[in-house]
Amino acid sequence: MGIEASIVVTGMGVISPLGDTTEKFWESVSAGAVGIGELTRFDTSMLSSKRGAEIPAQNNEARPHQDSPLAVQWAATAAEQATEDANLARTEMDSQRVGVCFGTVMGTRSNVDDWLLDEKRSEDSAPARHAWTVPALLSREPARRLGFDGPNCVIATACAAGNSAIAYGAEALQHDRADAMVVGGVDEISQATLLVFNSFRALAPQWVQPFDARRQGLMLGEGAAAMVLEREEDARARGAKIHGRVLGHSNVGDAHHMTAPHPQGRGAIRSMRQALARAGLGPSDVDHVNAHGTGTPANDAVEALAIREVLGAWADHVPVTALKSMLGHAQGGASALEAVASLLTMRDNLIPPTAHYETPDPACNLDIVAGSARRGNIRTTLTNAFGFWGNIECVVLGTA
């Protein structure tokens, strides 16, 4: 069954290492800017890689609501931006009909880091119960600040979480549980997460090079992106600006391994195919793929195989880009940031490049956009997201 009601995007908001507004973000991304550098918030002396994509400290200081974890602040700010962009004033809609859903990998757990590492910690200094044991805050706090009382949830499908939140919002609208949904993804870099990826020896030393023959791994990033979703008839009735459409989505479980993708791309293939089928589209309708593209040997090879399998010969005509080359892996925020970028790609018919893509890998036989942004007539974008424990969610986005 496909998406019946037409679901459109009427607002966007971004907090990222490449800009703290949607337009700043897009200006940087479309220019091929890279937000990766030396990590400054943590002691990285014991790590194989000292680099990642941090949101600059001055942007953190500029954030309002400094009494809550960074991820909560960013989710709230991105949601505020998206709501403002959608002109969704506080009193315009029934507050019980506007909901919020963010996807995340680590939730609010970074607050644990500071406390555990504080030699003077005590029960009294333990972060308030809200901060680290209630990941639901990531959606509840934006709802609280915006006055939205509709469906509210946080989805944790690992690195597919941003796309899963988009799907959650689309379903809420499809089933008439809401009239508007603010959806997105968010995560911050935490020291514990760095240690985990360091233990996998999965961190690239210098750059993230998705699909490149010399790729050496990923780098962690952080940030938040939010979108306002509405049913098209409602959006048009109130004269909302439409940025694009959510045409289809598919969540599957790879059921293979806790970290490695199925070697034949079983889950990825099925998710992409189902998302397209639910959008009422076939392979030749895909104009662009915004890849998951982490830069790890395993992920990129399997993803390339899966894209080839799904698109067949048409894959030769489909430009592919991987924004983690610029943004690092923003974990739960990644696919939401990539979704916003995909919408802007279709708005401007401009595909951002994959940074540091230099040496094609025969095992990744795709048309990778490299060097500089590429012009094209992009009406439909397939955006992929794959996570640990086999969580996969692919989304098909369309032009306005």
Partner 1 sequence: MKPARGIISGVGIVTGYGLDPSSCIEGLLSGDAAPTIRERASWPDDFSPIRINGMDPADVRTSLPSSQLRAITPESLTLQAAARTALADAELDLEEIEPERIGVAVSTQQAGLQDYAEQLWAGVREESGMVSPTHGPWTGFNAPAGHLGICFNTQGPNVTALNGAVGGIEALGYAIDALAADRADAMLVCGVEVISPTAIAALDSFDGAWRPRPFDRDRNGPAYGDAGAAILLESAKACADRGGSPRATVMGVSTAHSSRDNLEGASIQALTGALRASSCELEGVGACFAGANGSVAGDAAEAHAIGTVLGAEVPTCAIKGGIGECTAAGAVAQAALAVLSIERRVIPPTPGFESLDPTMRLRVTNRPEQLLRNTVVVHAWDEDCAAGAAILQPYHGRPTTE
Of these residues, 329, 356, 364, 394, which one is catalytic?
329
Active site residue 159: yes
Measured from the CB atom, the residue of 63 and 256 that comes closer to partner 1 is: 256
Stretch that binds partner 1, among 58-66, 148-156, 313-321, 378-386 (CB under 8 A): 148-156
Orientation of helix 266-278 relative to helix 297-311, angle to 10°? 40
DSSP state of 390: G
* Among 59, 87, 64, 344, CA closest to 223: 59
Stretch that binds partner 1, among 168-176, 207-215, 339-347, 377-385 (CB under 8 A): 168-176
Nearest 10 degrees: CA dihedral of 97, 342, 110, 69? -50
Taken in order 118, 16, 287, 239, the sign of the CA dihedral is positive
Least distance in angstroms from the C-beta of 127 to partner 1 = 6
Among 46, 61, 64, 119, binds partner 1 (CB under 8 A): 46
* 381 contacts partner 1 (rule: CB under 8 A): no
* Length in residues, the chain: 400
Q: Rounded to the nearest 5°, which phi and psi values hold at 166?
A: -60, -45
* 6 contacts partner 1 (rule: CB under 8 A): no
Least distance in angstroms from the C-beta of 73 to partner 1 = 17
Among 36, 156, 269, 306, binds partner 1 (CB under 8 A): 156
Nearest 10 degrees: CA dihedral of 85, 86, 87, 92? -150
Taken in order 204, 320, 189, 165, the sign of the CA dihedral is negative
Among 18, 70, 143, 225, binds partner 1 (CB under 8 A): 143
* 137 contacts partner 1 (rule: CB under 8 A): yes
Strand partners of residue 390: none
* Among 271, 74, 70, 71, CA closest to 164: 271
Least distance in angstroms from the C-beta of 154 to partner 1 = 4
* 21 contacts partner 1 (rule: CB under 8 A): no
Stretch that binds partner 1, among 30-38, 138-146, 293-301, 316-324 (CB under 8 A): 138-146
Active site residue 292: yes
Least distance in angstroms from the C-beta of 183 to partner 1 = 14
Measured from the CB atom, the residue of 63 and 278 that comes closer to partner 1 is: 278
Active site residue 175: no
* 175 contacts partner 1 (rule: CB under 8 A): yes
Sequence-ordered list of residues with C-beta below 8 angstroms from that of 213, at least 6 positions apart, any chain:
359, 360, 361, 362
CB 153 within 8 A of CB 75: no
Looking only at residues 68 through 97 of this chain, which bind partner 1 when binding is defined by CB under 8 A? 95-96
Looking only at residues 286 through 305 of this chain, which bind partner 1 when binding is defined by CB under 8 A? none
Measured from the CB atom, the residue of 138 and 341 that comes closer to partner 1 is: 138
Tell me the HSE value of 182 on the side-chain side, using a 13 A CA sphere: 41
Measured from the CB atom, the residue of 196 and 373 that comes closer to partner 1 is: 196
Looking only at residues 178 through 197 of this chain, which bind partner 1 when binding is defined by CB under 8 A? 191-193, 195-197
Q: Amino acid letter at 332? A: G
Sequence-ordered list of residues with C-beta below 8 angstroms from that of 249, at least 6 positions apart, any chain:
3, 163, 166, 167, 170, 275, 278, 393, 394, 395, 396
Unique residue bearing structure tokens 């944790």 = 156
* 259 contacts partner 1 (rule: CB under 8 A): yes
Sequence-ordered list of residues with C-beta below 8 angstroms from that of 161, at least 6 positions apart, any chain:
102, 103, 104, 105, 155, 185, 331, 332, 335, 385, 387, 391
Measured from the CB atom, the residue of 10 and 44 that comes closer to partner 1 is: 44
Measured from the CB atom, the residue of 326 and 395 that comes closer to partner 1 is: 395
Least distance in angstroms from the C-beta of 299 to partner 1 = 14
Stretch that binds partner 1, among 119-127, 284-292, 357-365, 369-377 (CB under 8 A): 119-127
CB 271 within 8 A of CB 370: no
* 112 contacts partner 1 (rule: CB under 8 A): yes
Q: Rounded to the nearest 5°, which phi and psi values hold at 179?
A: -105, -20
Looking only at residues 309 through 348 of this chain, which bind partner 1 when binding is defined by CB under 8 A? none
> Which positions are annotated as active-site residues?
159, 292, 329
